[in-house]
Structure 1
Amino acid sequence: MEKSRTKFVDVMEKAIESANSMHRDELLFPYKGILYPTTICSPEVFQALESFEARSDDVILAGYPKSGTNWLSQILTDLIDISQKKTPGRESSVNAKEVFPYLEAGDADKYERMAKFPSPRFMVTHLRPENLPKSIFKNKVKILLLIRNPKDVATSYYHFSNALAAAPSYETWDDFFTDFMTKKLGFGCYFEYLSEWNKYADQENIMTITYEEVKENPALAVKTIAAFFGIPLTEEELQLVVERCSFQSMKKNSEKTHGAVGNILFRKGGVSDWKNLFTEDQNEKMDKAFEERIGGTKLGKKLKYDLYCKA
């Protein structure tokens, strides 16, 4: 895993270096009505991605930014290692030659390189389903969809934006909240993201899991994920994955695995941090938006909004 993470570190350091010489307004660019980070994505990559040929045995993790994708990436790469009789963390991991696990990030030639990778290929994406290659759904690739309560997503995204040079920073939480609610962040509106993915929530090749349920019972979550991808686990292997994916373990190793951005990516790893930022008016606005957009949907119910998002 460290080999692929070294490449991850290279890409992030290059993105930060590029961002340091850019004006705030240049850090995001629009593509088909959604904003994306300029130093990570590009129109050329999105165009090349359209013809990407997915395999039925690919492993895909989908999640909006700050939903816990780095955390679940750790779990999935460890599970894939185990399925290949490798020891997690000790041997070259899946896709070790690829520079970045995110499907929409990098250079336009990456998909030609990925065509030569052995199976199973592991990919992460922040994209909405309508912007993913059609081959993913045509070939019924298994997708783990990760969702998180919107108030904690917003809170984590705010701290992330102010800590990472590649994202626009904010003078106040109020300014960020306004942008979060008006679709002015990288990868677009979270409520629209949930609404679009909800259309696919009943498909048998898509499993939805929440950040909160993984936090509440990591062992059960790992077992459920492994079963979905058809990966048998011994009790010893299960405990190894659970131990390696703990927030304390990942934060401790973050500099080695993610370089300078490790401390930014693994900030608190908790639930309900939103209570430290949201005003009463902001609570009411988000409660109303949630209810209007996805409150009665399958994904809306799975988020247990009343439990995690009510003051």
Structure 2
Amino acid sequence: METSKPEYYEVFGDFHGVLMDKRFTKYWEDVETFSARPDDLLIVTYPKSGSTWISEIVDMIYKEGDVEKCKEDAIFNRIPDLECRNEDLINGIKQLKEKESPRIVKTHLPAKLLPASFWEKNCKIIYLCRNAKDVVVSYYYFFLIMKNYPNPKSFSEFVEKFMEGQVPYGSWYDHVKSWWQKSKNSRVLFMFYEDMKEDIRREVVKLIEFLERDPSAELVDRIIQHTSFQEMKNNPCTNYSMLPEIMIDLKVSPFMRKGIVGDWKNHFPEALRERFEEHYQQQMKDCPVKFRAEL
């Protein structure tokens, strides 16, 4: 492993009880005072929960199934990440301010850190979540390819940090529960990655109807074709190969790695799985949301 990578808490720090990338919180006033527009659509996920997949689907809906329009730029430029900031390389707020309406906005923020203007303007919000064990596996590989992130000492050590909420965006449990509470609002659509893997047609129709569009068979077919895992993995506009090499090392692992449900079985030793599941039950005992860790 590279020895030049930074130490963990050089990069991340506690921010209102949530571990965050210090480069993002350095300019937090820009995020907090962000002015949402009434026709903004917000896509929210905990990291590594399918945000690129659902973002591409939503962009296809907005572009009425025009694949060529979706290939005009990278997904992170078409749908900027609200809080993402890396000096001159990336500035989500600046990108969004320059976009014409209607804007699609992406964020990984827990509900308590979301700028108030999204609630004040009654914006529509899509929340996509994924089972915790697959999230932690995918997050581990993400750490390995991000050049400015410290390498985890081991998968087991990373799982421990995940359980403690000592990963960027904090506790998965708190994140899911905070957005589940918000989903009582009819403007918030709460979705599951596993449901999308099980029946993508059903879930695409659900998204189109939530966005008050016509779910024609032709549109749905085009979306399903364009946003299949293999298509997106090979598409430079969605596979993150357009990010500068100083930020990401796709030789270590592709950004879009497997996109399946149940890959955790290939990574969790039995003792760690038992410990994780015990901790999970404790954390989620008061939450009615049920996840499927296999299909």
**Normalised-by-shorter TM-score class:** 0.7 to 0.9
Q: In the superposition, relative to structure 1, how do residues 287 and 53 fare at CA in structure 2: closer, same or farther (>3 Å)?
A: same
Q: In the superposition, relative to structure 1, how do residues 196 and 288 fare at CA in structure 2: closer, same or farther (>3 Å)?
A: same
Q: 1:66 aligns with which of 36, 48, 68?
A: 48
For residues 267 and 99 of structure 1, the distance between their equivalents in structure 2, rounded to whole angstroms, comes to: 22
> SS of the residue aligned with 1:104?
coil
For residues 78 and 99 of structure 1, the distance between their equivalents in structure 2, rounded to whole angstroms, comes to: 11
For residues 292 and 100 of structure 1, the distance between their equivalents in structure 2, rounded to whole angstroms, comes to: 36
1:164 aligned onto 2:142: no
Which range is displaced more, 268-277 or 258-267? Answer: 258-267
Give the equivalent residue in structure 2 for 1:32.
16
Q: In the superposition, relative to structure 1, how do residues 245 and 104 fare at CA in structure 2: closer, same or farther (>3 Å)?
A: same
> SS of the residue aligned with 1:146?
strand
1:267 aligned onto 2:251: no
Q: CA deviation at 1:187?
A: 1.1
8 A contact 2:12–2:22 mirrored in 1: yes
1:53 aligned onto 2:32: no
Per-residue deviation, residues 233-263 of structure 1 (Å, max 9, x unmatched): 3211111110111001001114775216566
The 5 Å alignment of 1:133-212 reads 133-212=115-194
8 A contact 1:164–1:264 mirrored in 2: no
Q: In the superposition, relative to structure 1, how do residues 97 and 150 fare at CA in structure 2: closer, same or farther (>3 Å)?
A: closer
Give the equivalent residue in structure 2 for 1:42.
25
> SS of the residue aligned with 2:68?
coil
Letter in 1 for 2:18: I
Unaligned runs of 5+ in 1: 1-18
Q: 1:103 aligns with which of 71, 78, 82?
A: 82
For residues 95 and 264 of structure 1, the distance between their equivalents in structure 2, rounded to whole angstroms, comes to: 16
> SS of the residue aligned with 1:89?
helix
Q: CA deviation at 1:38?
A: 4.0
Per-residue deviation, residues 112-158 of structure 1 (Å, max 9, x unmatched): 66345322101111000110111111222111100000010011111
Which range is displaced more, 202-211 or 94-103? Answer: 94-103
Per-residue deviation, residues 175-228 of structure 1 (Å, max 9, x unmatched): 111111112111111111112112212110001111111111111111101100
Identical-pair percentage: 26
Which range is displaced more, 256-265 or 29-38? Answer: 256-265
Give the equivalent residue in structure 1 for 2:203.
221
Q: CA deviation at 1:53?
A: 1.7
Q: In the superposition, relative to structure 1, how do residues 33 and 209 fare at CA in structure 2: closer, same or farther (>3 Å)?
A: same
Which range is displaced more, 232-241 or 256-265? Answer: 256-265
Per-residue deviation, residues 65-92 of structure 1 (Å, max 9, x unmatched): 010111111111111111xxx7233368
> SS of the residue aligned with 1:222?
helix
Q: CA deviation at 1:291?
A: 2.2
> SS of the residue aligned with 1:66?
coil
The total of aligned residue pairs comes to 282
TM-score normalized with structure 2 length: 0.85
Q: In the superposition, relative to structure 1, how do residues 75 and 128 fare at CA in structure 2: closer, same or farther (>3 Å)?
A: same
For residues 76 and 164 of structure 2, the distance between their equivalents in structure 1, rounded to whole angstroms, comes to: 38
8 A contact 1:201–1:208 mirrored in 2: yes
Q: 2:275 aligns with which of 271, 274, 285?
A: 285
Unaligned runs of 5+ in 2: none
Q: CA deviation at 1:20?
A: 6.2
For residues 162 and 113 of structure 1, the distance between their equivalents in structure 2, rounded to whole angstroms, comes to: 27
Q: In the superposition, relative to structure 1, how do residues 159 and 112 fare at CA in structure 2: closer, same or farther (>3 Å)?
A: closer
> SS of the residue aligned with 1:258?
coil
Q: CA deviation at 1:64?
A: 0.4
Q: In the superposition, relative to structure 1, how do residues 167 and 89 fare at CA in structure 2: closer, same or farther (>3 Å)?
A: farther
Which range is displaced more, 182-191 or 279-288? Answer: 279-288
For residues 185 and 91 of structure 1, the distance between their equivalents in structure 2, rounded to whole angstroms, comes to: 32
TM-score normalized with structure 1 length: 0.81
Which range is displaced more, 93-102 or 120-129? Answer: 93-102
> SS of the residue aligned with 1:265?
coil
8 A contact 2:55–2:79 mirrored in 1: no
Q: CA deviation at 1:97?
A: 10
